[in-house]
Amino acid sequence: MRTTSFFKTVQSAVLGCYVLIGGVFCSAFAEPSGDSLEDVSVISAKPVAVDDATPVQDLGLSDVVGEVPAIQTRNASYTEITAAAWEGKSLTAADLLATLPGIQSYKQGGLGSFQTVSVRGIAARNILICVDGVPLNDASGGAVNLASVDLNQMEKIEVYKNNVPAKFGVSGLGGAINFVTKNAVKKGGRVLAAYGNHNTWEGSFQVAAPVTDSIMFASSFATRHSDNDYEYLNRNGTQYNDDDDYMATRENAQYTDVSGNVQFRMLHGNGYFSTLSVTASRFEGGNPGKEEQQTKVAKFVGESALIRYGLESDSYFDDRLFLYGGLSARVDKNLSSAYYPLDHIGYGNNRFMEYGAATYKVVPEISADFTPIERLKGSARIAGEWERAEARGDSKEWSLDRWTLMGSGDLYYQIFKYGGLGGEGSVQFLKDELNDGVFVQPSGSHFLEDAADREATFAGRFYTRLGASESPLTGEVSIGRFYQQPALMELYGTFPGALSNPNLKREKATKFEAAGLYKFPGKHTTLRAAYFESHIQDGICWVISVELLRAENVARSLVRGAEFELNSSPSKFLDVLLRATFQKTEDRSNSNTYHGNMLPGEPARDYFAEATLHLPLHFDFAWTSQWRSVIYSDRANKMDQPAVATHRANLAYYPFDKTRLTFTVDNITDEKYRNFYTPFPMPGREYKFTIIQGF
């Protein structure tokens, strides 16, 4: 088995910072900062521009940074979610994102089980997932497992449903989701502790304090655990025989994770800001298998670390130019293990089997925001990326490298007060290298010695915006062409039983969106609506042939839909949020078996409603209901999952200015929302009590 010395070194460094630095600054929090527990906010579709020149320059004396300005919402495809939307509400990252219109979640069980999301009918593997702008998508090409993202470490979430913005490279088909970690900007902190059924608990703390007048320090630590020992109906593998069904308890499903972050933000004499941050996490859990074939010892372990340094310039030419440079390094190591015959997963042999991969990524970048003339604004970014993927566990040695050079930018011109035109685009060059290992071509009779050359990729979109900041009605129309290159492990078949296919083509998407926002008089109610359409070509799927896997460009699809959102505060005692998605997803592949079918996991309709009552005596009560129509688990539309409605209730009490107590009941009606063809049992009704203390 391969070692994890790099991660252990980083983890030790992070924990050491907690012990050494945390004690030094304990006295900094003897007095309250005067800030409230947290900003009063809900899931909001308002885009927020963070101007790095806004914070007060004297970092050591100021408790308050400049108020982050809310910019006019210009489209319905960008959403910013703040911590108030999830703290104390028993929501995972996938649960939270699925409350937004156009986003569907997929889960295989309780806390820590595999979880991911799709956006507007585009599969999870085509969604760019980032933490602080660094992609989590790795060389496997699969969907990012959102279960490993602990929201207690996050300040906010940025969701781009229609496109990948220029600051992330404009590369990808299904948009981008960026998790932004807690930062060293505002003095103060908070402690959170929670407990729920199935021995589910979580705890976290965050502190931020000035080191000197020009240096801010922040640190956060979080951990979660669940036994996941919930009861479920075991149908014993017989669909039409109810006589042998029985209630069983989920086994070998425990999960634990721990994560930490240390950050320094420094003001330099020339007006420049620099930020140094180190983040590390580790998660471990049982791999419980299917309902009728529970495992005994199978498990998975994951470790990751991220080191990031960024330098932000002061303004040049009367605030017409801002520069940024950064360097990021990330490592991820994952390993799954099983033992046959105790565990009925993997290969049927009498030995302990381990399989996994390690990926390393280094990203240098430089970017600029500029305003050459009064009505013209833009940005440009140049970034490189080195990525290495290599074997772990019992698999044969293999190693793959990818070198990438990316350039991206956007430009917007305000033609007149109520309208303008803009565009964004990117170019990407990459080169792959085969190092250790044997890579078999699809024919199975030849071996690869060199990686195939990849074409340069150009992507972009054009858009027009209508309405001024004070206008009650604003809107945007856009059309774009996007591409996504095959991942290393899709091209060169490193999975057990997989063949290489170096001739894989890049995936393509043509996307159109028309969106509008109307502010009702009084500014207490807003209505958003959007129409979206996506044409996907050369989608990559894993095809089974004679018990061997290979990736092929066989998927084509068409997605059309509309989203609606009504956000209203009719009185100071009531907030109402209504969302709806209507979409038609259609498989357009050449296979008669699949052509014309609905895409897997995509409902035709989805509704969301939330009402929050601000009660006397410092109580808040929120009720949330969500409903989706029938979905299918397979491309052939043979395995249907029935329509389902889920409900959640949350009661919050604020006994003191910076103290909040919450009690949440999730899945009130105890819905399992699965059928015979979804063999991963889901937890039923869940309870959680949370206390949050700010300082």
CB-CB contact of 90 with 666 (8 Å): yes
Closest by Cα among 36, 126, 152, 100 to 559: 126
Instruction: Please name the amino acid found at residue 531.
Output: Y
Q: What is the pLDDT of residue 10?
A: 39
Boundaries of every domain in the chain:
5-694
Torsion over CA: 17, 19, 21, 22 (sign): positive
Q: How confident is the model at residue 294 (pLDDT cuts 50, 70, 90)?
A: confident
Burial of 349 (0-12, 13-18, 19+ CB in 10 A): exposed
Q: What is the mean pLDDT of residues 601-629?
A: 95
Spatial CA neighbour of 410 closest among 165, 173, 162: 165
Strand partners, 655: none
* pLDDT at residue 511 tops 50: yes
Q: Which one-letter DSSP state was computed for residue 167?
A: G
Residues in the chain: 695
Interval 222-268: pLDDT, tens: 999 999 999 888 888 777 788 888 888 999 999 999 999 999 999 99
Task: Give residue 688's pLDDT.
Answer: 96
Q: How far apart are CA 2 and CA 10, in angstroms?
A: 17
Nearest CA-CA partner of 414 in 471, 470, 478, 467 = 467
CB-based contact 96:54 (threshold 8 Å): no
Cα(34)–Cα(93) distance, integer angstroms? 30
Whole-number Å distance between alpha carbons of 478 and 692: 42
User: Are 54 and 65 in contact, with CB atoms under 8 Å apart?
Assistant: yes
Which tokens sit at 433? 């290298």
Looking at CATH, the fold of the domain delimited by 5-694 is given as: Maltoporin; Chain A (2.40.170)
Q: Check if the beta carbon of residue 115 is closer than 8 Å to that of residue 92.
A: yes
In this prediction, residues 531-553 reach a mean pLDDT of 88
**Coil/strand/helix, residue 23:** helix
Residue of 593, 595, 583 whose CA lies nearest to 556: 595
Cα-flanking dihedrals φ and ψ of residue 10, to 5°?
-65, -45
Strand pairing partners for 388? 360, 401
Query: Computed from CA positions of residues 487, 489, 493, 496, in that sequence, does the dihedral angle turn out positive or negative?
Result: negative
Q: Round to whole Å and give the CA distance between 44 and 324.
A: 28
Q: Classify strands 176-181 and 128-131 as parallel, antiparallel or unpaired.
A: parallel
pLDDT at 177 over 90: yes
- Tell me which amino acid residue 38 is: E
CB 204 within 8 A of CB 180: no
Quick: pLDDT tens for 35-65: 333 333 333 333 333 333 333 333 433 333 3
Q: pLDDT for 659-685, tens place per residue?
A: 999 999 999 998 876 655 566 788 889
Backbone phi and psi for residue 531, each to the nearest 5 degrees, phi listed first: -110, 135
